[in-house]
Amino acid sequence: MGLRLRRGRGVTRDIKADYDEHAAVVTEREQEAAGVKAVLVSLQRGVKSMGPLRTAASLIRLNQRKGFDCPGCAWPEEPGGRKFAEFCENGAKAVAEEATKRVVTPEFFARHSISDLEGRPEYWLSQQGRLTHPVVLRPGDDHYREISWPEAFRLIAGELRALDDPNEAVFYTSGRTSNEAAFLYQLLVRSFGTNNLPDCSNMCHESSGASLVDSIGIGKGSVTVEDVANSDLIVIAGQNPGTNHPRMLSVLEKAKANGAKIIAVNPLPEAGLIRFKDPQKVHGVVGHGVAVADEFVQIRLGGDMALFAGVARLLLEADDRRPGSVIDRDFIDTYCHGFAEYEAQARAVDLDTVLEATGISRTQLERVAAMVAESERTVACWAMGLTQHRHAVAMISEISNVLLMRGMIGKPGAGLCPVRGHSNVQGDRTMGIWEKMPEEFLAALDAHFGITSPRQDGVDTVDAIRAMRDGRAKVFMGMGGNFALATPDTAVTEAALRACALTVQVSTKLNRSHVVHGRTALILPSLGRTDRDVQNGVKQQVSVEDSMSMVHLSRGSLHPPGEQVRSEVAIVCQLARELLGPAHPVPWERFNGDYDTIRDAIAAVVPGCADYNTKVRAADGFQLPHGPRDSREFPTSTGKANFAVNPLEWVPVPPGRLVLQTLRSHDQYNTTIYGLSDRYRGVEGGRRVVFVNPADIASFGLTEGDRVDLVSEFTADGETEERRAKDFRVVPYSTPVGNAAAYYPETNSLVALDHVAARSNTPVSKAVVIRLEPASAPDDLVSGAAWDE
């Protein structure tokens, strides 16, 4: 088998295996991210779905000061003079997906019954185009049919009023919703009488929030883009920026040009971490790109807590040798709480355990510790590779511990940087989309509007599924997103949604959540980020917050896909009016007609948003206050930054088993599959692949290209449950022995609903114990059987 392995820099492939029909072809994997090819791919995709004029009109305005915010990721735009093309290949794909000229009309639903749509893969569903009309599926009917907006609102209000208790309804939000729509949506839900506001964040950075609130008192990152660019050491753990945050690569390149070193901590040698070509720079186009990572730590899944605990011990020992050279005692004495206890634990960390948990060598551990010790300005970035573990919250706290020891919070060029996913997921939280908003927020909301918000905590995503499964919740409404497919335990979630009396999806595109429906189901078509939003004859703008707490305006400019498509703000206001009646104290009509009035209310209620309308109109918007970052003030229970003391946890691999992570390919946006090309990993034409270390393939008696079922094993209360995902192709890959990887959402069915992170309740999507069995019949509803470009 012509497979060459090079440790540290990943696998170099010279295999070209031609698999049969519904399959993936493994080609040369690309070692460099971005570059000219990325620009070409984005233009091709744009012209294919939008046509040349819409492509030019949209990409010119993407992330520009007078344009719209990219619906891709939450990485900030660079302040000051923005570059002409402030977007990336995957941002352009996200725009092409939304701005497509294809449409899904009532005639489409007349042609395609639910039974027909149920058999269609997710990829096919999303390719049908933008939703243009509100449609309803009545009990017993097999087709969605057109319904007028007023009738749709009456139907929802009727079902909601018929509930015994407002807590029998669940109101989900995905992270693309604007600040204005999010603020009004939570206001509607709380006016109705429940805090049941689960969101995608529950499956995403909830662990970061839970950890950071305890450590530094605020659940948001403590750095700006300038800090990252001016740091001298950047740790990137559990994140694949080349695919998921490509614009971050230009900032990393800038930091490197300023002399920064980069440590990449990842089980996989991801292309963006190894090399990057900035298409905006000539040398990026013609040269060989910049080697991003100076140190690639190929860690075992879930080993990061041990890595940072090991580093902490080595830092303390280095400081013993040269007192005062490593540990920032002034910072610790002035600003921190709990160091003595933490120090005692860190000194006792067993380094052999660290090497076993991480799978790295003693010399590499020492190199990493030395880099951390020598740095004067350290930034630590992370994403789903850390948040979706059972011990995610403690793992992230261990990173904060190391940065606190070195005084790296609230100092230019240094700090904590959870890199958010959805473009406005952070803003939605700021606006009150959370099942347990603090009393301060609820009290301000009540005082401003004269309502009484409920005080009982609501359900998060996992608890919402349990509530629907057990008949405690009967109405589901989704403000964007794809609840059926993004959540864990697909069979359980689907049954839970089907048990509802009513499911309502506010969506731009068709997805699985429209097919997996309650007794009655509604699809309400909404405008997206790129669309022009006109109310009362006046063009409206919305605002969003990025991963670094910068708030700014976004103005869509494209012609909407149909006359009937309404903005999320309008949908919320009109539903509220119907549900809550004309006597309700909130001025819903006024909000609907002029978004400036919503921003005035946000200014009165949301902390840090005073004078919102003015500040958000500044050229680059404004930055929300952040005590630790701005003035080393830590609003925690102790009033200081807290060292966290947690028992060391990691993820051992049971004999004969693999630990599987579920992750994104280069050609998808969460559950939306753009295409079947995971270019950087060298997989083309299919998605049902499982990446396995060649030594494991050999030890299981398998060979490359074999077809297997993935059978997950989850043990709770002494009982082991099994779940099966059928027919995956084995691909040899540079992943640690015992660790495997496969794509989300094809593998969500393997994640047990009860397998969640301690304290954040986030599904454990990055450590699923599986065994491989010979493949049974295929069962592929996500990516489809064949790829016919």
- The site for Mo ion (CB under 5 A) is made up of 204, 421
Residues 514-543 binding ligand MGD (CB under 6 A) are 526, 528-529
For ligand MGD, the closer CB: 216 or 486: 486
Query: Nearer to ligand MGD by C-beta: 194 or 526?
Result: 526
Q: Give the residue with the Cβ less far from ligand MGD, 19 or 557.
A: 557
Backbone angles phi, psi at 50, to 5 degrees: -105, -20
Distance CA 485, CA 483 (A): 6
Q: Which is nearer to Mo ion, 29 or 205 (CB)?
A: 205
Nearer to ligand MGD, 568 or 709 (CB): 568
Task: State how far the Cα of 661 lies from the Cα of 386, in Å rounded to an integer.
Answer: 11
In the complex, least distance from residue 67 CB atom to ligand MGD, rounded to whole angstroms: 16
Report DSSP letters for 719-743, one per residue: EEEEEEEEEEEEEE-S--TTEEEEE
Q: Binding ligand MGD by CB under 6 A: which of 343, 428, 568, 696?
A: 568
Under rule CB under 6 A, residue 566 binds ligand MGD: no
Q: Is the dihedral of CA 104, 107, 111, 115 positive or negative?
A: positive
Q: Does 186 bind ligand MGD (CB under 6 A)?
A: no
Tell me, what DSSP letter sits at residue 76?
P
- Of 410, 783, 373, give the one whose Cα is nearest residue 632: 410
Binding-site member from 211, 222, 511, 554 for ligand MGD (CB under 6 A): 511
Nearer to ligand MGD, 265 or 437 (CB): 265
- How far apart are the C-alpha atoms of 679 and 677, rounded to whole Å? 5
The distance of Cα 696 from the centroid of its chain, to the nearest Å, equals 30
SS3 state at 50: helix
| Segment contacting ligand MGD by CB under 6 A, of 278-286, 396-404, 500-508, 695-703 | 500-508
Do 500 and 469 form a contact (C-beta atoms < 8 A)? no
Q: Which is nearer to ligand MGD, 421 or 685 (CB)?
A: 421
Burial (CB count <10 Å: 0-12, 13-18, 19+), residue 272: buried
| Closest to ligand MGD by CB, 530 or 636 | 530
Distances (CA, A) of 40 to 44, 64, 449: 6, 20, 51
User: 699-729 burial, b for 16+ CB within 10 Å, e for fewer?
Assistant: ebebebbbbbbbbbbbeeeeeeeebebbbbb
Does 105 participate in binding ligand MGD (rule CB under 6 A)?
Answer: no
176 in contact with ligand MGD (CB under 6 A): yes
Choosing from 73, 405, 433, 576, the residue that interacts with ligand MGD (CB under 6 A) is 73
Of the candidates 41, 155, 299, 318, which one interacts with ligand MGD according to CB under 6 A?
A: 299
Residues 6+ apart with CB under 8 A from 266: 236, 237, 238, 239, 240, 273, 296, 297, 298, 299, 385
Taking phi over 0 as left and psi of -120 to 50 as alpha, with beta for the rest, 199 belongs to: beta
> Quick check: 751 binds ligand MGD (CB under 6 A)?
yes
List the single partner that 507 binds among Mo ion, ligand MGD, none, CB under 5 to 8 Å by kind: ligand MGD
Would you say 763 and 487 are in contact if contact means Cβ atoms under 8 Å apart? yes
421 contributes a contact to ligand MGD by CB under 6 A: yes
By CB under 6 A, residue 575 contacts ligand MGD: no
Instruction: Pick one of 304, 398, 435, 684: the residue that binds ligand MGD (CB under 6 A).
Output: 304
CB nearer to ligand MGD: give 176 or 615: 176
DSSP category for residue 591: H
State in Å, rounded, how far the first CA of the chain is from the last one: 30
Nearest CB to ligand MGD, comparing residues 96 and 268: 268
Within 313-372, the residues that bind ligand MGD by CB under 6 A are none
Nearest to 416 by CA among 429, 435, 397: 397
Residue in 22, 130, 247, 422 binding ligand MGD, rule: CB under 6 A? 422
Going by C-alpha positions, the residue among 129, 8, 27, 39 that lies closest to residue 689 is 27
**Segment contacting ligand MGD by CB under 6 A, of 363-371, 501-509, 540-548, 721-729:** 501-509
Give which of ligand MGD, Mo ion, none residue 481 binds (C-beta under 5 to 8 Å, depending on kind): ligand MGD
Q: Is residue 765 involved in binding ligand MGD (CB under 6 A)?
A: yes
Q: Is 766 in the site for ligand MGD (CB under 6 A)?
A: yes
Burial profile 216-227: b = 16 or more Cβ within 10 angstroms, e = fewer? bbbbbbbbbbbb
When the beta carbons of 203 and 603 are compared against ligand MGD, the nearer one is 203
Structure tokens at 336: 């921190």
In the region spanning residues 248 to 287, those forming contacts with ligand MGD, defined by CB under 6 A, are 265-268, 270
CB closer to Mo ion, 46 vs 421: 421
Which is nearest to 214 in space by CA: 641, 759, 631, 632? 641
Residue 207, phi then psi, degrees to nearest 5: -65, -35
Q: Work out whether 567 is an interface residue with ligand MGD (CB under 6 A).
A: no
Find the shortest distance in angstroms from Cβ 241 to ligand MGD.
7
CB of 729 to ligand MGD, least distance (A): 19
Is 777:725 a contact under the CB 8 Å cutoff?
no
Q: Which of 163, 292, 309, 384 binds ligand MGD (CB under 6 A)?
A: 384
Residues that bind ligand MGD (CB under 6 A): 72-73, 90, 174-176, 200, 203-204, 237-240, 243-244, 265-268, 270, 299, 301-302, 304, 383-385, 388, 421-422, 479-483, 486, 506-509, 511, 526, 528-529, 568, 661-664, 668-672, 744, 747-748, 751, 765-766
